[in-house]
Structure 1
Amino acid sequence: MDIKKAIAYFKQIIPGEGPLIVDIPDDDQPFCLPFSEDISIFFLIDNGDNYTLVQNRDLERQNISPAQLFEIGINNLDNIRENEIEVSKHNETLIFSGNGNLEASLLLIPELWDIGLESFCPNGYVAAIPARDVLAVCDRNDSESISELREIIERVWPGGDHLLSKTLFVRENGRWTPSGEI
């Protein structure tokens, strides 16, 4: 496994969801970083027809720090965005599509939000990421588009594949955080 090919990836976590049947040694557990209460950032290696999760032991074996892995994962995700993801506009909502696995994870690319798309959302961003392949974003002051984001979440949830979150996220001070109520 070449850890320099790792891609940052959102995955839903459900804290305290049932007992573990098997005790997995720490080295064999997937390496992840927290993002929100229900989502963590994992790191994938694309094997062509499947993905392998980066495990804790992989960092030590390849002498990579968590900060280095995060940077690698974001850079590789940004390369995928440039080559595989398209942005379209539906009313005043930006919709990301193309890869089918990583759209929601694009929230992790700071340059996309701090430099690339700020003119579309001059008052700040609100995002919906109900599943790994769904990313919809609108301006924070556009109540009609925020309602559209909520409708997207309701259409995807609960029957969607690879669900992430029913929460809307806002970008503040260079970070995405759960919105609470908008």
Structure 2
Amino acid sequence: MSDDDIPFTEPLVGELLITYAFDLPDTFQMVRRADLTEINVIPSELRKLAVENLRSRVGQGGYQGDPPVLRIVLGDNYDACALLYDDLWTMLGDKIPPNLIVGVPHRDVVLLTTTASTNGGLEQIRAMVNEFHATDDVHGLTRDLFVRRDGRWEVFEKAS
């Protein structure tokens, strides 16, 4: 397989990658470097374009649940993509100080708490992430937890 035929990905945080795809009626088709040339998009512009397309499809996003753990929701199998919504995390960070902690065990699950949680938020997220990983699912992502600092994601806790 040539480099032009390999799916185009970018690192996000920890073991998570951003994988770009065309959302076709019956499937997702991974974007290849050859596709970028064909549609005249340079790699450095792809993330911005993809987030704009995502917003036009699912909107701004929201959350469900009650503290100490909230669940971020975009819908349509895109919930994990919410990690790319910088403005959402800025807004939530302003409301939920000091640092946001997320678990992303599945493409449809983003769990949120704060480092200041005194009601067991971290313990609940750890347990929920492990519960999702107990099922054998092709859409599982990671057991690691991430923290939002200075406008970007970092590994907070590497799963053992």
TM value normalised by structure 1 = 0.78
- Among candidates 110, 132, 138, match of residue 156 of structure 1: 132
- Among candidates 78, 83, 101, match of residue 126 of structure 1: 101
Report how many residues are paired.
156
Q: Is the 8 A contact 2:8 2:31 kept in 1?
A: yes
Aligned to 1:177: 154
Q: Is the 8 A contact 1:30 1:42 kept in 2?
A: yes
| Deviation for aligned residue 1:110 | 0.4
| Deviation for aligned residue 1:150 | 0.4
| Deviation for aligned residue 1:160 | 4.6
Kindly indicate which of the two structures has a greater share of residues assigned to strand.
2
- Among candidates 121, 131, 136, match of residue 145 of structure 1: 121
Q: Is the 8 A contact 1:121 1:140 kept in 2?
A: no
In the alignment, structure 2 segments of 5+ residues that lack a partner are none
Q: Is the 8 A contact 1:127 1:168 kept in 2?
A: yes
2: CA distance between counterparts of 1:152 and 1:92?
13
Amino acid at match of 2:141: L
Aligned to 1:19: none
Q: Compared with structure 1, are the counterparts of its residues 109 and 58 closer, same or farther at alpha carbon in structure 2 (3 Å cutoff)?
A: same
Aligned to 1:12: none
2: CA distance between counterparts of 1:164 and 1:87?
20
Amino acid at match of 2:55: D
TM value normalised by structure 2 = 0.87
2: CA distance between counterparts of 1:131 and 1:120?
25
- Percent identical pairs in the alignment equals 26
In the alignment, structure 1 segments of 5+ residues that lack a partner are 1-23
Q: Does 1:110 align with 2:94?
A: no
Q: Which residues in structure 2 correspond to 1:36-75 (within 5 Å)?
A: 36-75=13-52
| Deviation for aligned residue 1:49 | 2.2
